[in-house]
Structure 1
Amino acid sequence: MLWLAISLLTINTALATENQKLENTAKILELLNDFRGNVASLRNDLKTVKNKLEHLSKQHATDTYTRWGRSSCPPGATTVYDGFTAGSHYTHSGAAANHMCLSKKPKYHSHYKKPKWTTLIYGAEYQTHGSIWDKLSRHEIPCAVCHVPRTSIIMIPGSDDCPDNFKIEYRGYLMAGYHTHKGGTEYICFDGNPTAAEYSSPLNNSGALFYFVEAVCGSLKCRPYESGKQITCAVCSYSP
């Protein structure tokens, strides 16, 4: 009978141990479930914060650019002002290289007095005779300054497509001054569907002149570039 009592005691002890293990396991599982719930809640909170930050970022991430060759901005952009494309005369060796979008509504101060020395600025003309823009040749060029709820405006010379995560603002052709003229110029991306400036007429008043750009094979490799073809461009804004 003694051995039976000892066996029962051993079995009861083992059962108690197993029950304790089961209780401990249940507590661990409960803690794990609580932990998973906390992690899920934190993920939701982080997602909410991220969405709010992205919303605020989009609200405050803005930029401006000039649309050359048009007097209004593309859809999705606000026209800040429109004006006349202007720059230095193509024959002036002391010319400024950059071009300006001059306001159509100039304002002068009443205390104006002509200085002894000044520099000069002229209107700009298309020099596109015999090209796809033949009808615009010698007409004055409009422009518009555009505001967008995006940032990091870039101009892509050589392609009219934008990189990944960038939105097309407008696409067109690269233009600049003629390579033998004295006046300094810059390469500008003109809208691919340009117009003439308001009240423009093809009178050949000269001033700042714009020509299509083509590649010269040599240090610039052909291919990929090809001589005789008009180089394209695109104006893009960061929009992931």
Structure 2
Amino acid sequence: MKGSTFVRWGRTSCDGTKSSLVYTGFMTGPTHTARGSGSNYLCLSSNPQTKSFPADWNTAPGHLYGIGWELTGIDRSKSSNHVDDKDVPCAVCLTKGKTSLMIPGRTSCYAGWTHEYTGFLVSVRTESGFASTEYVCADADPESQGSTNYNQGIISFVEVRCGSIPCSKYRNKTKLSCVVCSK
């Protein structure tokens, strides 16, 4: 089947009418308190396969950690709060289109594009003071994976800071929505 893949962060399924599941896994990446190693998030498969490495390849390794929801400052009466301080699942999806695109600051796709899912922009907290990570679109109706988050790596909502970003279009300190589209 031709198409492209995208990761649905915060969910264990794809929309079966527009995309199909390749695999499910765990959101992983750098710890929020260290420097070095990778800076992007990975959807690590729930069904790992390993290969033995030669003993002479024993070098200083990079580290990969599970990522957990860190949703401080939110209204605890909302339904999505059941994921706070729990691990983030992910699903790798194959879209029947040719390409996929995450658009920050929108909830709908532009004309000619197919909606895959809507969510909220997340990354590591700015105040962590250490690792920088990529921005990803976490599903607006998130699930959790497991029951405990060890705070090795965490994600939080991303807010706009006006200045070079025009306040006439974006309100200062507003959390950003996002949408994943395919074409």
Q: TM-score, normalised by structure 2?
A: 0.89
User: Segments of 4+ in structure 1 off by > 3 A?
Assistant: 110-114
Residues in 2 aligned to 1:101 and 1:149: alpha-carbon distance in whole angstroms: 20
- Quick check: 1:115 aligned with 2:58? yes
Change (3 A) 1:134 1:163: same
Unmatched runs of 5 consecutive residues or more in structure 2: none
1:196-239 per-residue CA deviation (whole Å, 9 max, x = no partner) reads 01xx124x41122100011111111112111232200000001x
Residues in 2 aligned to 1:80 and 1:95: alpha-carbon distance in whole angstroms: 27
State the SS of the aligned residue for 2:126: coil
1:187-198 residue pairs with structure 2 within 5 A?
187-197=135-145
Q: Offset of 1:121 from its aligned partner?
A: 0.2
* Match of residue 213 from structure 1: 158
What is the Cα-based RMSD across aligned positions, in Å? 1.7
8 A contact 1:79–1:144 mirrored in 2: yes
| Further displaced range: 146-155 or 221-230 | 221-230
- Quick check: 1:158 aligned with 2:158? no
* Match of residue 46 from structure 2: 104
8 A contact 2:116–2:180 mirrored in 1: yes
Change (3 A) 1:78 1:226: same
State the SS of the aligned residue for 2:23: strand
* Match of residue 186 from structure 1: 134
Q: Offset of 1:111 from its aligned partner?
A: 5.7
Residues in 2 aligned to 1:228 and 1:111: alpha-carbon distance in whole angstroms: 47
Change (3 A) 1:111 1:127: closer
Residues in 2 aligned to 1:143 and 1:128: alpha-carbon distance in whole angstroms: 17
1:32-58 per-residue CA deviation (whole Å, 9 max, x = no partner) reads xxxxxxxxxxxxxxxxxxxxxxxxxxx
Structure 2 counterpart of 1:196, one-letter code: S
1:75-154 residue pairs with structure 2 within 5 A?
75-76=16-17, 77-110=19-52, 113=55, 115-131=58-74, 132=78, 133-154=80-101
Q: Give the % identical residues.
A: 32
Change (3 A) 1:129 1:135: farther
- Quick check: 1:224 aligned with 2:166? no
State the SS of the aligned residue for 2:82: helix
Unmatched runs of 5 consecutive residues or more in structure 1: 1-59
Residues in 2 aligned to 1:215 and 1:110: alpha-carbon distance in whole angstroms: 45
Residues in 1 aligned to 2:89 and 2:54: alpha-carbon distance in whole angstroms: 28
8 A contact 2:4–2:97 mirrored in 1: yes
Larger radius of gyration: 1
Q: TM-score, normalised by structure 1?
A: 0.69
* Match of residue 120 from structure 2: 173
1:57-105 per-residue CA deviation (whole Å, 9 max, x = no partner) reads xxx6511111000011113211000000000111111142110000011
Change (3 A) 1:209 1:171: same
Matched positions, count: 176
